[in-house]
Structure 1
Amino acid sequence: MTLQLAPPRQGPPSQAPPPGRWGRFDLKGVPYLLVSPYYVLFAIFGVFPLAYTLWLSLHDWELAGDKTFTGLDNYVKLVTDASFWNAVINTLGMFALATVPQLVLALMLANALNKRLKGRLLLRLGVLLPLVTSVVAVAVIFSQLYSRDYGLFNWILSWFGVEPIVWQNEKWSSWLAISTMVDWRWTGYNAIILLAAMQTIPRDLYEAAALDGASARRQFWQITVPMLRPTLVFVVFISTIGGMTLFAEPVMFEGNPMMTGGTTGQYQTVAMFIVKEAFRDFDMGYAAAAAWLLFVLILVGTMINYGFTRRIRGAR
């Protein structure tokens, strides 16, 4: 007795039923629905304020008065305003004094925290303590440190026969004091970002370099720094935006709400100038024009820093 098995019938391949309206919406509409909250919020709190500020900058409007369309008059007046350019110079000066040392110190600190250290978790957490400290508390402490009569820094300078410095009275001294406040608060933040990027670098690269006889310094400049270039670009961007919009530290250092940045505006930043024009002098159109020029300055500064950062290569 033989058992014969018939070959399976060849039929058309089975096809899934076409999706209905809900199925098509699930495939094509749900992804847009899930990302829409961000764009809705960005349009309300980002795009609309930008557009409204641009429209407002073309008007002469006091806070409690009528709007009068003036075209580009606010921008023409702003370009020839010595007080505005004084604020620009102050902002750029404090930006240079604060950002360059800040990034160098953050890179060195991140490299040190990337080593095998005892209690390195506590050390890594410790560098974030200045960031969570209140700006007011930081300003109070640093104001005491830079006090003319009883400040720590003047006391140290007195050892070398230097006369007490009134840190708030001169450009260079006030810039230096405010820059140290910024560096103390933000260096640890940048160091943590750079440390996270360092930990993604494959260890095989360092082992191969060590076998080839490369020193630790050479490994740092030829492996670590080039591999950190994307993160360095990000850190430079964030530091540029923060430095160009510097506001809290000089306001707290001044100690009064006049937003003048000292008796002669020696440390008034562009952000302080905008707030003074808008909420003390009530010239909203002029303040809006200053805000847009600040936006242009941030773009120019960011592109310049990006041009320098993208040239990073390993040291020869």
Structure 2
Amino acid sequence: MATAPPIAPPAPVPTRKAKPGGSGPVRRHWRLYLAISPFYLLFLCFGLIPVGFSLYLSLHRWDGLGKMEWAGLSQYRYLLGDSQFWHAIGNTLIIWAMATLPMLFIAMVCAVMLNSAVRFKNFYRFAYFLPNVTSVVAVAIIFGSVFSTNFGLANAVLEGLGLDQVAWLNTPWGIKVAIASLMTWQWTGYNAIIYLAGLQTIPTELYEAARVDGAGPVQTFFRITVPLMRPVILFTLVVSTITGLQSFSEPQVLLQTASNSSTFAGGPDNAGQTMVLYFFQQTFDNNDFGYGAAISWGIFLIVAVFAIINWRLVQRKGK
């Protein structure tokens, strides 16, 4: 029996040897790298270099004009024992808790209502998102009038209910309530739109099956909506933590408007002095740029730690 002749292996495909200094990935795609280079150049000039300089500056004493003096870690050691800085941390955490928890809850309720609305959806979305794009300075001035002691809307409501007036911007807790209310009003619509986008990704079949099984709105919310919305809730919680712990414009403008002063002192007992405001005071009012840089790095570590804690807590609940 004759056997088939062996199949010859395919001839090797000739390859072009790369010449020394020839075309590599960068040379072949230089136009693409050139197109995206403005972003990296801007990030280098206005992001990376300032961050590196602030770290370098935190190791020196400098008033902004004279010669820098090496300080090493002495400013960080002073920061750890600075009672005013720890007081600002306490104020920031209290205001953050008073603003973030109600804000996220109200945002979720608004998102559920928007998701079930039939008419004027686009109008409601615009109305809820409008406070987030409104100037913080203008809003702070309006809230300063709302919480005014003599002619404020808040005290008018209290008088209508038969209660005594409250000097909102002249008492420590009144200041915190006013700042937290402003932040809640500003960011509720933003989080509601994000929650609405997450709600629209949940299949309607799950809600229909739950209704067939006899589940009510509350059970449906906690058994279907909340578990499936956990990644979105995590995102809003982390973002709200980062923005809330860096509050600056709200207390500054609100308390300046109330005191009719060009300088900021944080209100009575410095109750409205947040971490970023304390950084602003030390850096630009006292012209202590080195210590201000050390404060900024302390703020960065605190915000990073709280963001990680929130992320870990939500992730653990999701397991």
Same fold, judged at TM 0.5 (above)? yes
Match of 1:128 in 2: 129
User: Match of 2:270, SS?
Assistant: coil
33 and 90 in structure 1: CA distance in 2 versus 1, 3 angstrom threshold: same
Provide, for residues 61-88 of structure 1, a one-character-per-residue CA deviation record: whole Å limited to 9, x for no partner: 1112211111111111112112111111
8 A Cα contact 2:149 2:169, kept in partner: no
1:144-155 aligned within 5 A: 144-155=145-156
Provide the residue aligned with 2:43 in structure 1: 42
Return the offset for 1:14: 11
Matched, 1:272 2:260: no
Instruction: Output the amino acid matched with 1:302.
Output: A
- Given that 1:222 and 1:313 are in contact with CA atoms closer than 8 Å, whether structure 2 keeps it comes out as no
Aligned to 2:310: 305
Structure whose residues are more often helix by fraction: 2
Cα separation, 2, equivalents of 1:287 and 1:131? 29
Aligned partners of 1:59 and 1:285 also within 8 Å:
yes
Separation in 1 of the partners of 2:14 and 2:182? 65
Distance 1:167 1:14, change over 3 A: same
Q: Which residue of 1 aligns with 2:74?
A: 73
Range with bigger deviation, 257-266 or 112-121: 257-266
Identity %, equivalent residues: 38
Taking only aligned residues, the RMSD between alpha carbons, in angstroms, comes to 2.7
Residues 258 and 276, structure 1, Cα contact 8 Å, conserved in 2: no
5+ residue gaps, structure 2, are 1-7
* Count of equivalent residues: 306
What runs of 5+ residues in structure 1 fail to find an aligned partner? 1-9
CA distance in 1, matches of 2:310, 2:282: 29
Counterpart-to-counterpart distance in 2, 1:34 and 1:11: 46
Deviates more, 1:157-166 or 1:66-75: 157-166
Tell me: CA distance 1:201–1:33, structure 2 relative to 1, closer, same or farther (3 Å). farther
Distance 2:231 2:82 in 1: 38
In 1, Cα distance between equivalents of 2:146 and 2:28: 61
Moved more, 37-46 or 78-87: 37-46
Query: Shift in Å at residue 232 of structure 1?
Result: 1.3
- CA distance 1:218–1:149, shift in 2 (3 Å): same
TM-score, scaled to structure 2: 0.87
C-alpha offsets along residues 29-74 of structure 1, whole Å, 9 cap, x if unaligned? 6766665544443333222222111111111111122111111111
Length-normalised TM-score, structure 1: 0.87
The alpha carbon displacement at 1:266 in A equals 1.5
Question: CA separation in 2, counterparts of 1:134 and 1:79?
Answer: 35
Residue 261 of structure 2 is aligned to residue 261 of structure 1: no
State the 1:239 CA deviation: 0.5
Match of 2:4 in 1: none
1:86 equivalenced with 2:91 (yes/no): no
Which portions of structure 1, spanning 4 or more consecutive aligned residues, are displaced by more than 6 angstroms?
Answer: 13-17, 26-31
Aligned mates of 1:287, 1:174 — CA distance in 2: 25
Give the AA of the match of 2:214.
G
Alpha-carbon spacing, 1:192–1:309, altered in 2? closer, same or farther (3 Å): same
Alignment match, 1:203: 204
Aligned residue identity for 1:287? G
The aligned residue for residue 167 of structure 1 is 168
Q: After the TM superposition, which residues 91-240 of structure 1 pair with which residues of structure 2 at under 5 Å, given as runs? A: 91-240=92-241
Larger deviation: 10-19 or 177-186?
Answer: 10-19
1:183-209 Cα offsets, whole Å, 9 max, x none, are: 111100010011111111222222332
Q: Aligned partners of 1:66, 1:41: CA distance in 2, in Å? A: 28
| Structure 2 contact 148–169 (Cα < 8 Å) conserved | no
Distance of 2:150 and 2:253 partners within structure 1: 19
SS in 2 for 1:190: helix
